[in-house]
Amino acid sequence: MSDFLIIPESVSGRVLTAALSLVKRLISGAPKESPQVTNFWNNRPLTETEFYQIKDDFLTERQYDPKAIKRKYRGDLRFHIPILGGWKRYVVVTPRKGYVIEGYWHIGWDERKSGGLSLVRIKGRQVRVLLGPNETAFFGLNRDGTQIPVEIIGSGQIGDGSMFSQLPLH
């Protein structure tokens, strides 16, 4: 039995994400970098049961960006728009050494009092995740919903052109 429910990303969600790809590249201020793919239609909050099932020893260390803008209300999308002061700093997360991914995996976040899960499949080993103003730890889930141990292997900022800039951004 899996620890977390993995709901497949909808076809319409994948189409909308692809359609917005160019716009997201432009509003990032870094059109040559891989754009952010997680949106309100392809992520979900963790249930209370799931939140308490997170294995602390499988989480990354907690990170945050003290300069990141705070969301003023639930629909506040400024954090998605770097050219308007949105979140820019990221860390690169990967399954820990020795852990084999079977097909794809998912990334989730834990902000101590709440958390969420991206429904977008990660097909490689590494993914960029944005840092906001709250201390956040990240976790990984296998495609069957079981938690996998992850670690941070790098960091950067949108627009820095680093070796991580072509990794998917969730």
Q: How far is CA 159 from CA 29, 98, 114, in A?
A: 7, 31, 29
For residues 41 and 72, the model is more confident at 41
pLDDT single digits (tens) 133-169: 999 999 999 999 999 999 999 999 999 999 999 999 9
Q: Say if residue 75's pLDDT is above 90.
A: no
Comparing CA positions, the residue from 88, 76, 105 lying closest to residue 36 is 88
Q: Length of the chain in residues, anyone?
A: 170
pTM across the whole model: 0.92
CA separation for the pair 102, 109 (Å, rounded): 21
Percent with pLDDT over 70 in the chain: 99
pLDDT in tens, 109-143: 999 888 999 999 999 999 999 999 999 999 999 99
- Residue 2 confidence (pLDDT) above 70: no
pLDDT band at 33 (very low <50, low <70, confident <90, very high): very high
The DSSP code for 31 is T
Query: Looking at the DSSP assignment, which residues form a beta bridge with residue 148?
Result: 140
Q: How many helices (H) and strands (E) does the chain have?
A: 3, 8
**Three-state DSSP class for 16?**
helix
Band of residue 32 on the pLDDT scale cut at 50, 70, 90 = very high
Q: In whole numbers, what is the pLDDT of the chain averaged over residues? A: 92
With vertex at residue 23, the alpha carbon angle to CA 133 and CA 139, rounded to the nearest 5 degrees, is: 40
State the average pLDDT over residues 21-46: 91
Whether 1 has a pLDDT exceeding 90, the answer reads no
